[in-house]
Chains A and B, each alone.
Chain A
Amino acid sequence: MRIALVNGSPKGGASNSGILLEKLKPLIAEGNELNAYRVNVKPLKPEQYRELNEADVLVLAFPLYFDAIPSHLLRAMVEMEKFRQQEPGNRELIVYALINNGFYEGHQCKIAADIVSNWCSRCGFRFGMAIGHGAGEMFKSLSRVPLGKGPLKNLGKAMDQLSAAILTRSSAGSLFIQPNFPRIAWRLAATHSFWHAQAKKNGLRPKDLRRQPFQVSRNGNQG
C-alpha cells in the first residue's frame, strides 16, 4: 500500500505536525511504502500532485489556523481538486487527518476535520477519520516521550485507532483529545516557559507583548 504522509506545517524546519507523523510511522510502516511530502510556503510540483492522487492512503498533518486549515495548505488542496478533475488517479484513495491546535482542547479541531471531509467529497476521495489534538506546542518538549505514556497516553490510544483504520483502509469516528496533563499547568507553562521565554530572547519584557500599535481609519477614528 502506498501511503503519502503530508506535513502541512508552514514552518521551515522541525514542526509539531512532523512530530505527529514520526509517531505514526512505526505503526503503519510494515509492508507499506511510506512517502513523505512537505507543503509549506513552497508549492508542490505537478508530479507530486500526481503521486498524491495515485496514492492508496493520504495522511494530512497540519496545525489549526483560525479554527481551520492554514491558507498555504488550503491552496494546495484546491490545486489538488483541480488536478483530480484532470486525472482520475486512484479512485479508492482514502484520507486521514492529524490536526494539532495551540489551545488545550482537541475538539477545537473539529471544524478543520469537517473541512477536510468536505474536500474529500469534492475530490471524490473517501474520508477516513481525523485525530484532533490540543496543546500542540507541547509536542516539541514531548518528542522523546513514548506514545501511550505520561502526557501522550491519550495520543497513544488515538494513534492505535488511527493506524488500525489506515491498515484496513476503513473509516472510523474522529477523535478529539488533549494531553494527559492538567489544563492549568499547561497554561502556566505556555505563559512563562514559552511566551515570556521567547520575549526575553528577543530583548522584550512580558508587558511589551501587550503593545497596541494602532492606525487611523479612513474616517479619522482611532483604534
Chain B
Amino acid sequence: MRLIVHDLAEQDFNTWLGGFSRDTDEIIGEQETIRHCVGCFGCWVRTPGTCVLNDSYKHMGERLAAYEEYVFITRNVYGGYSPFVSNVLNRTLPYVLPYFLTKNGETHHQQRYERQIRFTVHFYGEGMSEAERETARSLVRANALNLDASGYKVSFHDTLNSLKEVQ
C-alpha cells in the first residue's frame, strides 16, 4: 500500500523494479505530462485539498492520503530529487494545510489529514559526492517533518542494478 514515484524509463523500471506489486502499490512514472506548480495557492484557498491545474496530478494530496507509505526512486540531482520527482512532490502541496504550527521551535504546516505516512527515498546515480549525499539526507529529513511522516528512510544506490534490493 505504497504510492511510488520514480523517474526511471519504463524499461528500466520493469527490469530493475518489476517486483513491485501493481495490485497493492500505485506507481507514478513520467508517462504523462505534468504541469509545474505555479505558486497560486489555489489548492489551499480555491479548491481546498485539490490542485487547480487540470492534469492527472491534480489529486496528489488525496492520493497520498489513501496510502501508508510515500516512496521516491530518484536520481540524486545536486543533493535533491530529479526534476520529475520534485515536480510530483511540489504538486503534493494540497496534502497539507496552509495553517502553521510550531514544532521543535520551527514553523511547519498543519496537516489536512489525521493519518500519518512513512516516507522512503532511494537515491541512485553514479559518482554522488559526499556533499550531495549529505544534502539529500537533510532534505528527506526536512520533508518528512513537513509531511508529518511517522518515520523516514534514505538509501543510496551507485548503480541501477543495486536498486533491485529496494523491493
> B26 contacts A115, CB within 8 Å?
no
| Interface pick from B12-20, B93-101, B148-156, B157-165 | B93-101
User: Are B59 and A121 closer than 8 Å at their CB atoms?
Assistant: no
Q: Are B100 and A190 in contact (CB under 8 A)?
A: yes
Chain B neighbourhood of A221, CB < 8 A: 1, 66
B108 and A103 form a contact (CB under 8 A): yes
CB proximity to B under 8 Å, residues A185-218: 187, 190-191, 195, 198-199, 201-202, 204, 208-218
CB distance A11 to B39 under 8 Å? yes
Q: Is the CB of B49 within 8 A of A212?
A: yes
Distance between A204 CB and nearest chain B CB, rounded to angstroms:
7
Identify which of A29-37, A61-69, A82-90, A163-171 touches chain B. A61-69
Cβ-defined partner of A213 (8 Å) among B36, B62, B78, B108: B62
Q: CA of A198 to CA of B146 in the docked complex: distance in angstroms? A: 23
Task: Return chain B residues, CB-CB under 8 Å to A219.
Answer: 1, 23-24
| Number of interchain pairs (Cβ within 8 Å) | 172
- Alpha-carbon gap, A127 to B129, bound state (A): 16
Contacts of A11 in B (CB 8 A): 38-40
What residues of B have a CB within 8 angstroms of the CB of A12 in the complex? 38
A212 touches B142 (CB 8 A): no
A113-135 interface (Cβ within 8 A of B): 114-119, 121-122, 134
What's the Cα separation between A36 and B56 when bound, in Å? Answer: 34
Known: A114-B131, A215-B59. A68 touches B37 (CB 8 A): no
Is A223 in contact with chain B by the CB < 8 A criterion?
yes
User: Could you tell me the distance between the alpha carbons of A41 and B87 in the complex, rounded to whole angstroms?
Assistant: 12
Number of A interface residues, CB 8 Å? Answer: 60
Q: How far is the CA of A122 from the CA of B75 in the complex (A)?
A: 14
Partner-A contacts on B (CB < 8 A)? 1, 23-26, 35-41, 44-46, 48-50, 59, 61-63, 65-67, 77-81, 83-84, 86-87, 89-90, 92-93, 97-100, 106-108, 112-113, 115, 129, 131-132, 134-135, 138-139, 142-143, 146
Known: A118-B129, A187-B100, A223-B67. 18 other contacts (CB 8 A): A11-B38, A65-B37, A66-B92, A71-B87, A74-B86, A108-B142, A111-B80, A114-B135, A118-B78, A121-B131, A183-B107, A202-B46, A204-B46, A213-B62, A217-B1, A217-B67, A218-B26, A221-B1
* Chain A residues within CB distance 8 Å of chain B: 9-12, 15, 40-41, 63, 65-72, 74-75, 77-78, 103-105, 108, 110-111, 114-119, 121-122, 134, 183, 187, 190-191, 195, 198-199, 201-202, 204, 208-219, 221-223
Closest 7 A/B residue pairs (Cβ): A223-B65, A217-B66, A71-B87, A198-B45, A103-B107, A72-B36, A67-B142
